[in-house]
Chain A
């Protein structure tokens, strides 16, 4: 009972925090966009700009309320936001919510694949390195991780394209589906083929972080008194790792992986750009370059919410799974 109540309070506070976070971010990003050299009218009209006279511009500006004080403009936008209306994307000519939904459905596959891959590979590498600390295998893993940690995602992406798409020709160079084919004719295999390179690129870069953290945590665990005592009871090797190592190192690793949503998102933006993969990342770059203000703002809010969710899950895992942070019980002996 007490635990459910505590969990409820925890979630309530987090919701309030999410709301204030979004409010803060919406104000800051709105002000940033307002003060940027983006001209929303030009973005709206595009190439036909020459055919639009100053009077017509004036009328559009008036219609959109662009001459109102900034604060009033923000209130207008924010109040429709609260009503669930994110506005209409200027480059896609569709509601922003629709665009995000569609792009996200592509990105989530990419991000999820990369996330799971980097989590599993990174965790394994970290554990192996720690269990064989100061041996050649540990040094190789460490060296590999430091190299990866200092490798930008886009550069890794370019390398992958060069090697696996251009030279070896194993995978397509870019896009999410084959070009020149009706969308009904696109097979699952086609989609997977287009996913492989971006997903591997994104996960390779994510591996270093989780591997190095897991390694350090595992070293701490192995040096702990409870491991010493387990060894004194005759446990060793895999049994020792399975019984005491894994459960103590998995929790921080999983939390870290959820908390790494921000890096995942950031990595996806660059990777999608390199592979012309039609996801959220590419949409963000497009929206920024072509001055699609409603879409840009919508994406900013969405990515903030995405990262916040990752962090929330990380906290929640500790809260629910770790017995030490649960409601303390006391029993008289």
Chain B
């Protein structure tokens, strides 16, 4: 049984466009993804494809004007707002993007201690700092005094001390030098190997491939493909969805080939396949209804033409 199961999740924001006219922005539509214990799942996609919102939806920390539909299950149990509240920071932990997510006026050691759920806070915090090779002086520092690599390890520490079984890492790698990047990735892989379920949200496919078991490709707020990491090889001939192939082909080492057009805006989504307007294979049916996510060759794809 998957530890975390997201089924047909939709997130809609109500906004006042001009005057009192409301408009709905559908940031995530019909998104489905599952996470197994001991697995590292990478969620990749361009900016604005709804990756971070998925993390916030799982943790139940979306802004007040967001409406969700669909279901999120933890160990088979459907999450209610109340249940999510009791799980976050205990069973499900977030590793945020940057040092900006730490309280600027609180010493980092104390911030890690507030995340401890079992055991003595100070002891647990020192243990985890030692494990991540953070000197004891670091616990007395303020966030602005940390280097990028140190901040990375402090943020990871907050998730570690919580003892959570599901770790959601939201863009944890930008701005790191190759050495720190390598270390950050290894730390996440290590968590997976210890039995945690890790969701790595990133737009850096190369990094994701180094540690992930599965890759979920996001486009305009939905999953277009879920594929084993090993399918991302060669010219992308093993990939299922045209967008995944285009994304793979756009990497510098794979030809650096861009495709025309851009992701549709979430306030004006087309009725049919979200990728149809940029797709070479698009036919009339593609523009009529959004295809369902279907099983294909040990993965999943949301495309009627995929083989």
Q: Which residues on A are within 8 Å of B, measured CB to CB?
A: 225-226, 228-236, 243-244, 247-248, 251, 322-324, 328-331, 333
Contact = CB atoms under 8 A, between A and B. Distances in A.
Given A331-B135, A333-B138, 12 more contacts: A225-B98, A232-B89, A233-B93, A233-B115, A233-B162, A244-B106, A248-B105, A323-B142, A323-B144, A323-B145, A331-B137, A333-B147
9 contacts: A228-B56, A229-B96, A230-B103, A234-B85, A234-B90, A235-B114, A244-B106, A251-B105, A330-B145
A333 B144 contact: no
Contact of A232 (B86, B94, B105, B142): B94
Contact of B105 (A230, A231, A236, A323): A323
A324 B88 contact: no
A230 B59 CA distance: 12
Contacts of A333: 133-135, 138, 147, 149-150
Nearest to B141: A331
A247 B137 CA distance: 22
In order of increasing CB-CB distance, the 8 nearest A-B pairs are: A234-B89, A233-B89, A229-B101, A232-B94, A323-B142, A225-B101, A226-B103, A333-B150
A324 B143 CA distance: 9
A331 B138 contact: yes
B202 to A, nearest CB: 18
A219 to B, nearest CB: 13
B158 interface: yes
Interface in B37-53: none
A95 B158 CA distance: 65
Q: How large is the interface on B (under 10, 10 to 19, 20 to 34, 35 or more residues)?
A: 35 or more
Contacts of B114: 230, 233, 235, 243
Nearest to A246: B105
Interface centre among A229, A323, A333 (most CB of B within 10 A): A229
Contact of B106 (A228, A243, A251, A324): A243
A235 B100 CA distance: 17
Interface string B110-137: 0000110000000000000000011101
Interface of B: 56, 59, 61, 85-86, 88-90, 93-94, 96, 98, 100-106, 114-115, 133-135, 137-138, 141-142, 144-145, 147, 149-150, 158, 162
A284 to B, nearest CB: 40
Nearest to B87: A234
B102 A229 contact: yes
B34 to A, nearest CB: 21
A233 B112 CA distance: 10
A29 B247 CA distance: 72
Interface centre among B98, B104, B137, B141 (most CB of A within 10 A): B104
B37 to A, nearest CB: 21
B145 A226 contact: no
A225 B61 contact: no
A18 B103 CA distance: 35
Nearest to B55: A232
B103 A228 contact: no
Contacts of B105: 247-248, 251, 322-323
B88 A247 contact: no
Contacts of A331: 135, 137-138, 141, 145
Interface centre among A228, A331, A333 (most CB of B within 10 A): A333
Nearest to B63: A223
B89 A235 contact: yes
Contact of A324 (B56, B98, B142): B142
A330 B147 CA distance: 9
A208 B290 CA distance: 54
A233 B158 contact: yes
A323 B89 CA distance: 27
B158 to A, nearest CB: 7
Nearest to B96: A229
B52 to A, nearest CB: 10
A226 B100 contact: yes
A228 B61 contact: yes
A329 to B, nearest CB: 6
Nearest to B110: A243
B101 A226 contact: yes
A276 to B, nearest CB: 45
